Structure 1
Amino acid sequence: MDKLIEAIKATQNPSVVGLDPTDQVVPAALIDSFREEVADQVDDPAEIPAMQRAVAYFEFNRAIIDAIAGIVPAVKPQIAMYEALGPAGVDTYEMTCEYAQSQGLYVLGDVKRGDIGSTAAAYAKHLGGLAANNGEALDLWHEDAVTVNPYLGTDGITPFVDAAQAADKDMFVLVRTSNPSSKEIQELELADGTRLYERVADLVEGWGADTIGASGYSRVGAVVGATHPEQGKQLRERMPHTFFLVPGYGAQGGTAADVAGMFDEQGSGAIVNSSRGIIGAWRKNGGYSDGMSADDMLGLVASSARDAALAMRDDLEAALA
Structure 2
Amino acid sequence: MIIDRLYEEVERKGNVCVGLDTSLEYIPSTMKNSYHSVDDVLFYFNKRIIDATIDIVPCYKVQIAFYEAHGLNGMLAYKKTLDYIRNRGAIAIADIKRGDISSTAKAYAKAHFEGDFESDIITLNPYMGFDSVVPYLDYVKNKEKGLFILLRTSNEGAKDIQYLNIDGKEKVYNYVGDKIKDIASKHMGKCGYSSIGAVVGGTHLEEADEIRDRLGNIFFLIPGYGAQGGSGSDVASYLENGNGGVVNSSRGIITSYKKYEDGIEKLDYYVRKAALDMKEDILSETKTM
**Bin for the TM-score computed over the shorter chain:** over 0.9
CA distance in 1, matches of 2:186, 2:55: 32
Q: Is the contact between residue 127 and residue 167 of structure 1 (CA under 8 Å) also seen in structure 2? A: no
Aligned to 2:78: 93
2:193 aligns to what SS in structure 1? coil
Cα distance, 1:316 vs structure 2: 0.9
Which of 27, 37, 62 is the equivalent residue of 2:47? 62
> Aligned pairs, how many?
285
Q: Is the contact between residue 112 and residue 147 of structure 1 (CA under 8 Å) also seen in structure 2? A: yes
TM-score by length of 1: 0.86
CA distance in 2, matches of 1:244, 1:232: 11
1:140 aligns to what SS in structure 2? helix
Cα distance, 1:301 vs structure 2: 2.3
- 2:178 paired with 1:230: no
CA distance in 2, matches of 1:247, 1:147: 12
Aligned to 1:18: 19
Aligned to 1:239: 215
1:211 aligns to what SS in structure 2? coil
Alignment of 1:93-112 (within 5 A): 93-112=78-97
Cα distance, 1:192 vs structure 2: 4.9
CA distance in 2, matches of 1:180, 1:152: 20
Alignment of 1:159-174 (within 5 A): 159-174=135-150
- 2:82 paired with 1:80: no
CA distance in 2, matches of 1:128, 1:75: 16
Runs of 4+ more than 6 Å apart = none
Aligned to 1:199: 175
1:175 aligns to what SS in structure 2? strand
CA distance in 2, matches of 1:28, 1:191: 55
Q: Deviations over 1:239-296 (max 9, x none)?
A: 11210000000100011001111012x22211100000000011012114xxxxxxxx
CA distance in 2, matches of 1:159, 1:258: 34
CA distance in 2, matches of 1:99, 1:158: 29
CA distance in 1, matches of 2:136, 2:168: 29
User: Unaligned 5+ residue runs, structure 1?
Assistant: 39-51, 130-138, 289-296
2:226 aligns to what SS in structure 1? coil
Letter in 1 for 2:184: G
CA distance in 1, matches of 2:74, 2:147: 23
Q: Deviations over 1:53-103 (max 9, x none)?
A: 321111100001000011101100100000000011111101001101122
TM-score by length of 2: 0.95
CA distance in 2, matches of 1:203, 1:275: 29
Cα distance, 1:183 vs structure 2: 1.2
CA distance in 2, matches of 1:21, 1:54: 11
Aligned to 1:251: 227
Aligned to 2:260: 285
Distance 1:126 1:5, change over 3 A: farther
Aligned to 1:121: 106
Q: Is the contact between residue 126 and residue 143 of structure 1 (CA under 8 Å) also seen in structure 2? A: no
Which of 257, 276, 284 is the equivalent residue of 1:318? 284
Q: Is the contact between residue 140 and residue 187 of structure 2 (CA under 8 Å) also seen in structure 1? A: no
Q: Deviations over 1:208-229 (max 9, x none)?
A: 1110110111111000001112
Q: Deviations over 1:103-132 (max 9, x none)?
A: 221111101111000000111124542xxx
User: Unaligned 5+ residue runs, structure 2?
Assistant: none
Distance 1:14 1:126, change over 3 A: farther
Aligned to 1:43: none
1:146 aligns to what SS in structure 2? strand
CA distance in 2, matches of 1:116, 1:86: 25
Aligned to 1:153: 129
Cα distance, 1:152 vs structure 2: 1.6
Which of 9, 17, 24 is the equivalent residue of 2:11? 9
CA distance in 2, matches of 1:74, 1:241: 20
Q: Deviations over 1:17-55 (max 9, x none)?
A: 000111231123422332xxx3xxxxxxxxxxxxx3321
Aligned to 1:276: 251
CA distance in 2, matches of 1:215, 1:26: 38
CA distance in 1, matches of 2:34, 2:242: 44
Distance 1:166 1:127, change over 3 A: farther
Letter in 2 for 1:255: S
Larger-Rg structure: 1
**Identical-pair percentage:** 40
**RMSD of the TM alignment (CA)?**
1.3
Q: Is the contact between residue 186 and residue 197 of structure 1 (CA under 8 Å) also seen in structure 2? A: yes
1:10 aligns to what SS in structure 2? helix
